[in-house]
Amino acid sequence: MKKVTTIIITSLVAVSLVVFTAIIYAKGNQIAEEENVPGELIPLPDESANVSANMTSECKITDNSTTGQNAAVSSGNKELTGNQLKIVYKPVLITEYRKQLAREYANMHYGEYIDTIKPQTIIIHWTASDNMQGTYSYFYREEATVDREYGRLNLTSHFLVDRDGTIYQLTPETFLNRHAIGLNWCSIGIENVGGVNGKQDLTEAQLKANIQLVKYLKDKYPSITYLLGHYQQDHAKKVGLWKEKVSSYYTGKPDPVRIFMQGLIDGTKDYGLTVFEP
Protein backbone atom coordinates (compact mmCIF):
# COMPACT_ATOMS: atom_id res chain seq x y z
CA MET A 1 0.00 0.00 0.00
CA LYS A 2 2.90 2.30 0.88
CA LYS A 3 4.42 1.66 -2.53
CA VAL A 4 1.14 2.50 -4.35
CA THR A 5 0.78 5.72 -2.34
CA THR A 6 4.35 6.74 -3.21
CA ILE A 7 3.72 6.13 -6.92
CA ILE A 8 0.51 8.20 -6.84
CA ILE A 9 2.24 11.09 -5.07
CA THR A 10 5.16 10.97 -7.50
CA SER A 11 2.77 11.00 -10.47
CA LEU A 12 0.84 13.98 -9.06
CA VAL A 13 4.08 15.92 -8.54
CA ALA A 14 5.17 15.17 -12.12
CA VAL A 15 1.81 16.29 -13.54
CA SER A 16 1.95 19.47 -11.44
CA LEU A 17 5.42 20.28 -12.77
CA VAL A 18 4.27 19.82 -16.38
CA VAL A 19 1.24 22.08 -15.84
CA PHE A 20 3.37 24.71 -14.05
CA THR A 21 5.96 24.68 -16.86
CA ALA A 22 3.23 25.09 -19.49
CA ILE A 23 1.76 28.08 -17.63
CA ILE A 24 5.16 29.77 -17.33
CA TYR A 25 5.91 29.16 -21.05
CA ALA A 26 2.56 30.58 -22.13
CA LYS A 27 3.02 33.64 -19.92
CA GLY A 28 6.50 34.18 -21.30
CA ASN A 29 5.18 34.12 -24.85
CA GLN A 30 2.44 36.59 -23.94
CA ILE A 31 4.99 39.02 -22.45
CA ALA A 32 7.26 38.65 -25.49
CA GLU A 33 4.38 39.41 -27.84
CA GLU A 34 3.26 42.43 -25.81
CA GLU A 35 6.76 43.91 -25.60
CA ASN A 36 7.91 43.06 -29.17
CA VAL A 37 11.02 41.31 -27.85
CA PRO A 38 13.79 41.47 -30.50
CA GLY A 39 14.24 38.42 -32.66
CA GLU A 40 11.44 38.92 -35.16
CA LEU A 41 11.36 41.93 -37.48
CA ILE A 42 8.35 44.17 -36.92
CA PRO A 43 7.35 45.80 -40.23
CA LEU A 44 6.79 49.55 -40.29
CA PRO A 45 3.21 50.83 -40.56
CA ASP A 46 1.92 51.60 -44.03
CA GLU A 47 0.44 54.89 -45.28
CA SER A 48 -1.34 55.54 -41.98
CA ALA A 49 1.90 56.32 -40.11
CA ASN A 50 4.85 58.27 -41.46
CA VAL A 51 7.37 57.41 -38.78
CA SER A 52 8.28 54.64 -36.43
CA ALA A 53 6.07 54.49 -33.37
CA ASN A 54 8.66 55.78 -30.94
CA MET A 55 9.20 59.07 -32.84
CA THR A 56 6.26 60.89 -31.31
CA SER A 57 7.81 64.07 -29.99
CA GLU A 58 9.87 66.82 -31.59
CA CYS A 59 13.61 66.52 -31.13
CA LYS A 60 15.71 69.55 -31.99
CA ILE A 61 19.15 68.85 -33.45
CA THR A 62 21.48 71.82 -33.23
CA ASP A 63 24.93 71.88 -34.77
CA ASN A 64 27.82 74.18 -33.87
CA SER A 65 28.14 75.88 -37.24
CA THR A 66 28.50 79.62 -37.71
CA THR A 67 25.47 79.84 -39.97
CA GLY A 68 23.20 78.32 -37.36
CA GLN A 69 21.11 75.95 -39.47
CA ASN A 70 19.01 73.88 -37.07
CA ALA A 71 16.87 70.82 -37.71
CA ALA A 72 13.83 69.46 -35.93
CA VAL A 73 13.08 65.77 -36.36
CA SER A 74 9.43 65.08 -35.75
CA SER A 75 6.54 62.79 -36.49
CA GLY A 76 4.30 65.36 -38.13
CA ASN A 77 6.08 68.63 -38.95
CA LYS A 78 5.64 69.39 -42.62
CA GLU A 79 6.65 73.02 -43.13
CA LEU A 80 9.92 74.89 -43.02
CA THR A 81 9.82 77.80 -40.60
CA GLY A 82 12.55 80.44 -40.37
CA ASN A 83 16.01 78.94 -39.98
CA GLN A 84 14.62 75.67 -38.72
CA LEU A 85 14.48 72.63 -40.97
CA LYS A 86 11.76 70.05 -40.42
CA ILE A 87 12.76 66.44 -41.07
CA VAL A 88 10.35 63.52 -40.76
CA TYR A 89 12.10 60.37 -39.59
CA LYS A 90 10.89 57.48 -41.78
CA PRO A 91 13.55 54.76 -41.67
CA VAL A 92 13.89 51.95 -44.15
CA LEU A 93 14.70 48.49 -42.80
CA ILE A 94 18.27 48.39 -41.48
CA THR A 95 19.39 45.25 -39.71
CA GLU A 96 22.77 43.56 -39.49
CA TYR A 97 21.88 41.93 -42.81
CA ARG A 98 21.65 45.26 -44.64
CA LYS A 99 24.98 46.30 -43.10
CA GLN A 100 26.50 43.05 -44.33
CA LEU A 101 25.12 43.70 -47.84
CA ALA A 102 26.55 47.22 -47.75
CA ARG A 103 29.99 45.89 -46.84
CA GLU A 104 29.82 43.31 -49.64
CA TYR A 105 28.82 46.02 -52.12
CA ALA A 106 31.61 48.34 -50.98
CA ASN A 107 34.18 45.56 -51.26
CA MET A 108 33.01 44.66 -54.77
CA HIS A 109 33.07 48.23 -56.09
CA TYR A 110 35.60 50.10 -53.95
CA GLY A 111 37.85 47.43 -52.49
CA GLU A 112 36.86 48.47 -48.98
CA TYR A 113 34.82 46.41 -46.54
CA ILE A 114 32.82 49.32 -45.06
CA ASP A 115 29.20 50.19 -44.31
CA THR A 116 29.68 53.84 -43.27
CA ILE A 117 31.01 56.89 -45.09
CA LYS A 118 32.72 60.19 -44.45
CA PRO A 119 30.48 62.52 -46.50
CA GLN A 120 32.34 64.54 -49.12
CA THR A 121 29.60 65.29 -51.61
CA ILE A 122 25.83 65.64 -51.86
CA ILE A 123 24.11 64.13 -54.89
CA ILE A 124 20.65 65.25 -56.01
CA HIS A 125 18.28 62.78 -57.69
CA TRP A 126 14.71 62.43 -58.81
CA THR A 127 12.70 59.24 -58.44
CA ALA A 128 11.12 59.12 -61.93
CA SER A 129 7.90 58.47 -60.01
CA ASP A 130 5.23 60.79 -58.61
CA ASN A 131 4.43 58.58 -55.62
CA MET A 132 6.36 59.03 -52.40
CA GLN A 133 4.94 55.97 -50.65
CA GLY A 134 5.68 53.75 -53.64
CA THR A 135 9.28 54.94 -53.70
CA TYR A 136 9.64 54.44 -49.97
CA SER A 137 8.23 50.92 -50.19
CA TYR A 138 10.76 50.10 -52.92
CA PHE A 139 13.66 51.47 -50.85
CA TYR A 140 12.46 49.80 -47.65
CA ARG A 141 13.59 46.23 -48.32
CA GLU A 142 17.20 45.29 -47.73
CA GLU A 143 17.93 43.11 -50.75
CA ALA A 144 17.87 44.28 -54.37
CA THR A 145 15.58 42.72 -56.96
CA VAL A 146 17.42 44.16 -60.00
CA ASP A 147 21.09 44.49 -61.00
CA ARG A 148 21.97 41.83 -58.45
CA GLU A 149 25.08 40.90 -60.40
CA TYR A 150 26.50 44.24 -59.16
CA GLY A 151 25.58 43.58 -55.55
CA ARG A 152 22.65 42.41 -53.45
CA LEU A 153 22.29 45.67 -51.51
CA ASN A 154 19.00 47.38 -52.34
CA LEU A 155 18.85 50.91 -53.67
CA THR A 156 17.98 53.76 -51.32
CA SER A 157 18.98 57.32 -50.57
CA HIS A 158 19.54 59.07 -47.26
CA PHE A 159 16.69 61.55 -47.80
CA LEU A 160 13.47 61.60 -49.80
CA VAL A 161 11.73 64.92 -50.56
CA ASP A 162 8.02 64.78 -51.39
CA ARG A 163 6.17 67.05 -53.82
CA ASP A 164 5.06 69.39 -51.02
CA GLY A 165 8.61 69.81 -49.74
CA THR A 166 8.31 67.36 -46.85
CA ILE A 167 11.76 65.91 -46.09
CA TYR A 168 11.94 62.28 -44.99
CA GLN A 169 15.15 60.84 -43.56
CA LEU A 170 15.45 57.17 -44.52
CA THR A 171 18.84 56.18 -43.10
CA PRO A 172 21.62 57.66 -40.96
CA GLU A 173 23.55 60.24 -42.95
CA THR A 174 26.79 58.27 -42.68
CA PHE A 175 25.37 54.93 -43.77
CA LEU A 176 26.67 53.63 -47.11
CA ASN A 177 23.63 53.60 -49.40
CA ARG A 178 23.39 52.47 -53.01
CA HIS A 179 22.19 55.52 -54.93
CA ALA A 180 25.00 56.67 -57.25
CA ILE A 181 27.44 54.42 -59.09
CA GLY A 182 31.06 55.26 -58.29
CA LEU A 183 30.13 57.70 -55.54
CA ASN A 184 28.32 55.80 -52.81
CA TRP A 185 31.52 55.57 -50.76
CA CYS A 186 31.56 59.34 -50.11
CA SER A 187 28.12 60.80 -50.83
CA ILE A 188 24.80 61.65 -49.21
CA GLY A 189 21.90 61.11 -51.60
CA ILE A 190 18.75 63.26 -51.77
CA GLU A 191 15.90 61.85 -53.85
CA ASN A 192 13.07 64.11 -55.03
CA VAL A 193 9.67 62.66 -55.93
CA GLY A 194 9.05 63.48 -59.59
CA GLY A 195 10.68 63.37 -63.01
CA VAL A 196 8.16 60.96 -64.52
CA ASN A 197 9.15 60.07 -68.10
CA GLY A 198 12.21 62.32 -67.74
CA LYS A 199 10.10 65.47 -67.46
CA GLN A 200 11.26 68.34 -65.24
CA ASP A 201 8.31 68.68 -62.89
CA LEU A 202 9.99 69.16 -59.52
CA THR A 203 8.25 71.82 -57.44
CA GLU A 204 9.27 75.11 -55.84
CA ALA A 205 8.57 73.54 -52.47
CA GLN A 206 11.07 70.78 -53.28
CA LEU A 207 13.68 73.29 -54.39
CA LYS A 208 13.29 75.26 -51.15
CA ALA A 209 13.55 72.04 -49.11
CA ASN A 210 16.68 70.95 -51.00
CA ILE A 211 18.34 74.32 -50.41
CA GLN A 212 17.64 74.15 -46.68
CA LEU A 213 18.73 70.51 -46.44
CA VAL A 214 22.00 71.08 -48.34
CA LYS A 215 22.83 74.01 -46.06
CA TYR A 216 22.08 71.93 -42.98
CA LEU A 217 24.24 69.02 -44.16
CA LYS A 218 27.13 71.29 -45.11
CA ASP A 219 27.03 72.87 -41.65
CA LYS A 220 26.88 69.49 -39.95
CA TYR A 221 29.64 67.88 -42.04
CA PRO A 222 32.50 70.27 -42.92
CA SER A 223 33.99 67.39 -44.92
CA ILE A 224 31.31 67.98 -47.59
CA THR A 225 32.87 70.08 -50.35
CA TYR A 226 30.94 69.11 -53.51
CA LEU A 227 27.35 69.42 -54.69
CA LEU A 228 26.22 67.79 -57.93
CA GLY A 229 23.20 66.47 -59.77
CA HIS A 230 23.20 62.79 -60.64
CA TYR A 231 23.49 63.68 -64.33
CA GLN A 232 26.83 65.39 -63.51
CA GLN A 233 28.45 62.17 -62.32
CA ASP A 234 31.17 62.30 -64.98
CA HIS A 235 32.50 65.52 -63.43
CA ALA A 236 33.29 63.51 -60.31
CA LYS A 237 35.84 61.53 -62.30
CA LYS A 238 37.80 64.71 -62.97
CA VAL A 239 38.14 65.67 -59.30
CA GLY A 240 39.03 62.30 -57.80
CA LEU A 241 35.67 61.44 -56.25
CA TRP A 242 34.84 58.57 -58.59
CA LYS A 243 35.71 55.03 -57.52
CA GLU A 244 34.57 51.95 -59.41
CA LYS A 245 36.31 48.59 -59.73
CA VAL A 246 33.69 47.09 -62.08
CA SER A 247 34.29 48.78 -65.44
CA SER A 248 30.97 47.67 -66.95
CA TYR A 249 28.98 49.23 -64.13
CA TYR A 250 27.85 52.61 -65.46
CA THR A 251 24.55 54.22 -66.45
CA GLY A 252 23.99 57.72 -67.83
CA LYS A 253 21.50 59.76 -65.81
CA PRO A 254 19.28 62.78 -66.63
CA ASP A 255 18.22 63.77 -63.12
CA PRO A 256 17.40 66.24 -61.77
CA VAL A 257 18.02 68.35 -64.94
CA ARG A 258 19.79 71.68 -65.22
CA ILE A 259 17.07 74.14 -64.25
CA PHE A 260 16.60 72.54 -60.83
CA MET A 261 20.34 72.31 -60.19
CA GLN A 262 20.79 75.96 -61.16
CA GLY A 263 18.20 76.99 -58.60
CA LEU A 264 19.89 74.84 -55.97
CA ILE A 265 23.34 76.23 -56.79
CA ASP A 266 22.03 79.79 -56.60
CA GLY A 267 20.35 79.07 -53.27
CA THR A 268 23.50 77.66 -51.66
CA LYS A 269 26.15 79.85 -53.28
CA ASP A 270 27.30 81.32 -49.96
CA TYR A 271 28.19 77.92 -48.52
CA GLY A 272 31.52 77.39 -50.25
CA LEU A 273 30.53 74.23 -52.10
CA THR A 274 32.33 73.24 -55.28
CA VAL A 275 29.76 72.91 -58.07
CA PHE A 276 29.83 72.28 -61.79
CA GLU A 277 28.19 74.25 -64.58
CA PRO A 278 24.60 72.99 -64.77
Residues 143-192 pLDDT 10s? 999 999 999 999 999 999 999 999 999 999 999 999 999 999 999 999 99
**pLDDT single digits (tens) 120-146:** 999 999 999 999 999 999 999 999 999
Cβ neighbours around 267 below 10 Å, total: 16
3 or 133: which carries more pLDDT confidence?
Answer: 133
Q: What pLDDT, on the 0 to 100 scale, is given for residue 192?
A: 98
What's the DSSP call for residue 85? Answer: E
224 or 56: which carries more pLDDT confidence?
Answer: 224
Which percentage of the chain shows pLDDT scores above 90? Answer: 67
The model's pTM: 0.74
pLDDT band at 248 (very low <50, low <70, confident <90, very high): very high
Q: What pLDDT, on the 0 to 100 scale, is given for residue 217?
A: 98
The helix, strand and coil proportions of the chain, stated in percent and rounded to the nearest 5, come to 35, 15, 45
Distance CA 62, CA 70 (A): 5
Mean pLDDT of the chain: 79
Contact 95, 141 (CB under 8 A): no
**pLDDT single digits (tens) 222-231:** 999 999 999 9
Q: What pLDDT, on the 0 to 100 scale, is given for residue 59?
A: 29
